[in-house]
Amino acid sequence: MKLFYANCICLLLLCVCLSQSYAQGVDNAGLPSTTTTAAYSTRLVRSAYSGPCMRVRRSSDNAEADVAFDAWSKMLTTSCTATITAAGSSGLTIGVTMPFSSFYGSSSCFVTTWYDQTGNGRHAVQATSASQPRIVNAGSMDRLNSWPAITFQNNGQLMTYTAASITVQTINAVRAAPDFNWQTLVAVSANTDFSIRANSGNGVLYNNAPNGNDWYNGTGSPSQFWVNGVQGANFSSTSIHTISANSLNPTAGTMSISTTFLNRGMYGGAAINELLLFPASLSTTDRQALETNQNTAFVAHTLPLQLLSFTGYRNYTTNQLQWQTADEANTRQFVIERKTANSDFNAIGQLPARGQGNGNYAYSDASATEGTVFYRLKMEDLDGKFTYSNTVSLLVPSSQQASKAYPNPGSDKVFVQVYDKNLLHTKARLLDIHGNLLFVFTINDWKQPIAINRQPTGTYLVQLNNGEVLTITKK
């Protein structure tokens, strides 16, 4: 009996392990339970995946870092955490973390590993520096439709998975190519001619008269490839799009993103946001769900602004607002809106956006009336869409509010706090309890310090220019 139960447990564990090694859905891409061979993306496509997006090499000193997904947007962004994995000649310590933008600075970054998010460990890698595609160009993230994208500058750049044979029948991607001269997307086996590619000279990116080396050869008429959801499309655009393509039968082998076969790889800034491989043909329902999800995520929408912080404080007679942003690729301007207890939010000013990368901004409001004042940012994109920030509240003191002294009692120094701006830069007097003048000082600050360390213990009077008299005690 014990042996029977032990065998059952082993069989159960084996089934679990087998299911985990292959049947991984990509729920954030609209396919929560569809078996996926490999998943590469600049967004988090599988919510259970907790690893980094990619490993990159810095051009200036060959330091390398794993770059995580942003916890808020689930994307690769400039503010993502980069963890040093190789120091190169930088002197950095392995394991040190920093924002991705701090890691690359003004340098370029190239991709050494594009991590497979299925959990199967089928990472696309490139160890040769000259063959690595790019993700950052001289301090600016490479982008497609404002979304981060891996780019291929010449047809010698590619990434491969060659550790073991994988099975692929459906290839799906979000991409763009600058022309229709081959621009091979994926080859299985790696660096072969059986691939998704153009047929140089026919003016379309996907060969609509396929031959034996086209991925979808023999799949019927029209062929089983869909561009932006349209089957067998004569696609002759260099714009961002989705592509899904089925082969007649599942193909087993190694895999390359781009290819070195007859110099038919991607080049000229060809870009990929996402690449998904499946071991079987997708059902119509699954394919349409995936394409709709990708269209919403990458094609129809641009990257939203990431507001890192929005704060404010009172400074003399003005309210000071400040905010910090990341990934401004699609932001047009910031409209500052103000509200009081007796009014709605109204625009009081605007600042243009930097337009790329990170930004630090400040705005001064000197016209706010007394009482509690509320502020928010209306963040407008180039496409006319907008979002609002959190709300910041600041107290504008009344000019009639009584001045005060603190700490009281004091020993060496006390502060005179004034609220009336008319008291700034006026003279004040320190008197003893009998009204005798001890010294005159100027109110240069809203919180003006007074030195009383030379005065004996006792009670003193501070006489202000507006007639107010404050009592302080020296202990």
Q: Do domains 306-396 and 404-474 have the same CATH topology?
A: yes
Region 174-195: mean pLDDT is 96
Written out in words, the top-level CATH class of the domain with range 306-396 is mainly beta
Locate the domains of the chain by residue range.
Answer: 23-299, 306-396, 404-474
Q: What is the 3-state secondary structure (H, E, C) of the chain?
A: CHHHHHHHHHHHHHHHHHHHHHECCEHHHCECCCCECEEEECECCCCCCCCCCEEEEECCCCCEEEECCCCCCCECCCCCEEEEEECCCCCCCCCCEEEHHHHHCCCCEEEEEECCCCCCCCCEECCCHHHCCEEEECCEECEECCEECEEECCCCCCEEEEEEEEEEEEEEEEEECCCCCCCCCEECCCCCCCEECCCCCCCCCCCCCCCCCECCCCCCCCCCEEECCEECCCCCCCCCEEEEEEEEEEEEEEEEECCCHHHCCCCCCEEEEEEEEECCCCCHHHHHHHHHHHHHHHHCCCCCCEEEEEEEEEECCEEEEEEEEECCCCEEEEEEEEECCCCCCEEEEEEECCCCCCEEEEEEECCCCCEEEEEEEEEEECCCCEEECCCEEEEECCCCCCCEEECCCECCEEEEECCCHHHCCCEEEEEECCCCEEEEEECCCCEEEEECCCCCCEEEEEECCCCCEEEEEEC
Can you give the pLDDT at residue 113? 99
Can you give the pLDDT at residue 304? 67
Residue 14 pLDDT more than 60?
A: no
The predicted-structure confidence for 85-129, as pLDDT tens digits, reads as follows: 999 999 999 999 999 999 999 999 999 999 999 999 999 999 999
Q: Whole-number mean pLDDT of the chain? A: 90
Give the least confident one: 80-84, 110-114, 170-174, 339-343.
339-343
The predicted-structure confidence for 118-149, as pLDDT tens digits, reads as follows: 999 999 999 999 999 999 999 999 999 989 99
The pTM for the full model equals 0.69
Residue 467 pLDDT more than 90?
A: no
Give the CATH number of domain 23-299; options: 1.25.40, 2.60.120, 1.10.760, 2.60.40: 2.60.120
- The third-level CATH classification (topology) of the domain covering 404-474 is Immunoglobulin-like (2.60.40)
